Amino acid sequence: MSNSIEILYFVQQKSPTYIQSMEEELDIKGRTWGRCCEEAMTVLEEVIMYTFQQCVYYISKCLYVSLPALLECNPFQHEGRESWRPAPALPDELRRVVLVYQAALDLLRQYEVHPEVTSQMFAYLFFFSNTLLFNQLLEKGQCSPSGVRLRACVRLLLEWLRGAGFEQLSRQFFAKLASAADLLAMPGSQLLQMSWSCLRGEFPALSPAQLRRLLSHCQPRSRRCHPSPRDEVLESFDNHPPIVLPSGGFKVDLDVETLDDNIYRHLLYVRHFLWSLRSKSSLGADGMSVGLAKVVMLSWWDGGFPGSL
């Protein structure tokens, strides 16, 4: 995915110049080369989208197993320990969740995935985490003192995410869960003294139906709480943030005269791979575009066109 993002940008920006040069040098007419570049860009976009979706799918599967325990997490369980025994940095339930986030972040950084794509991937993971926990919370129902524990746990999670560099993103996508935890942590006597308009102003991230459902957990006999149907209060997993390909901030400049040795080694590997494909198959009518695309890439790396490596 990381390499495809860099190559796609290069092809989008530089292919018109290379196509013109090839047509002039080889005296080629028609749209053959342009069609090859269009097909190459389409394939690269498909690779990026598919890889992104597969990444969030498998990471979400790990989160699906770890997240529900947060609703039962007690961040205060070590307060009565002996003073000489150090407290763990995070409760076990929360630690399992942040380990998934940390592992994903480490991999994205290790493979130098574009920062905008990294941000979008975590936006999706935070969206998934918030939606899963929020829906389970609405169905299960909790109130003080369990609401106090949940609020403390959510704050610990947001604090960890802030330290990882996702403060704004986490506050945006965990807004509903944080609001629900704050409401459930409030004493029932305090909630009874608040008007509906005051409650709506205090918890703007919650819809009226969601607010009524949460209040029904804390005030089951209150006349003003009329729980809405299930479909009206639960968040939909279909409303996930979109995937937008970056338009700047790329790391690799394939126009430079001297490439970094590490990049050059990777290019040589791809070159040999393409040569092996060309030697194993002959060009047919159906495979002409793919074959021409390979020839174009091999020609660039052989130094046959302007700006080549």
| Residue 12: predicted pLDDT | 82
- Per-position DSSP letters for 112-135, written without gaps between them: T--HHHHHHHHHHHHHHHHHHHHH
| Residue 36: predicted pLDDT | 76
- Where do runs of H (alpha helix) occur along 67-185? 92-110, 115-140, 146-163, 167-173, 175-185
**pLDDT per residue as tens digits for the range 4-26:** 898 888 888 877 776 666 666 66
288-302 and 32-66 are packed helices; what angle lies between their axes, rounded to 10 degrees? 90
115-140 and 32-66 are packed helices; what angle lies between their axes, rounded to 10 degrees? 40
| Residue 23: predicted pLDDT | 64
**Tokens 């989208």 found at:** 49
Token pair, residue 200, equals: 């709506």
- Where do runs of H (alpha helix) occur along the chain? 2-26, 32-66, 92-110, 115-140, 146-163, 167-173, 175-185, 188-192, 196-202, 208-218, 230-233, 261-280, 288-302
- Residue 46 neighbours by CB under 8 Å, 6+ apart: none
Rounded Cα distance between 67 and 255, Å, is: 46
Domain residue extents for the chain: 47-77+87-233, 253-309
CATH topology of domain 47-77+87-233: Methane Monooxygenase Hydroxylase; Chain G, domain 1 (1.20.58)
| Residue 19: predicted pLDDT | 67
pLDDT tens string for the chain (309 positions)?
888 898 888 888 877 776 666 666 666 555 566 777 788 889 999 999 999 999 999 999 999 999 999 998 988 876 554 444 444 579 999 999 999 999 999 999 999 999 999 999 999 999 999 999 999 999 886 665 688 999 999 999 999 999 999 999 999 999 999 999 999 999 888 888 999 999 999 999 999 999 999 988 776 555 455 555 665 789 999 999 989 998 888 877 666 666 667 766 777 777 787 788 777 665 554 454 444 444 444 444 444 433 333
Q: What's the start-to-end Cα distance of the chain, in Å?
A: 22
Task: Give the alpha-carbon dihedral of 259, 264, 268, 270, to 10 degrees.
Answer: -100
C-beta separation of 175 from 161 below 8 A: no
Rounded Cα distance between 261 and 267, Å, is: 10
Rounded Cα distance between 297 and 309, Å, is: 11
Does this model's pTM top 0.85? My answer is: no
Token pair, residue 269, equals: 């590997």
Report cis status (omega within 30 of 0) of the bond before 227: no
Nearest to 91 by CA among 155, 144, 176, 142: 155
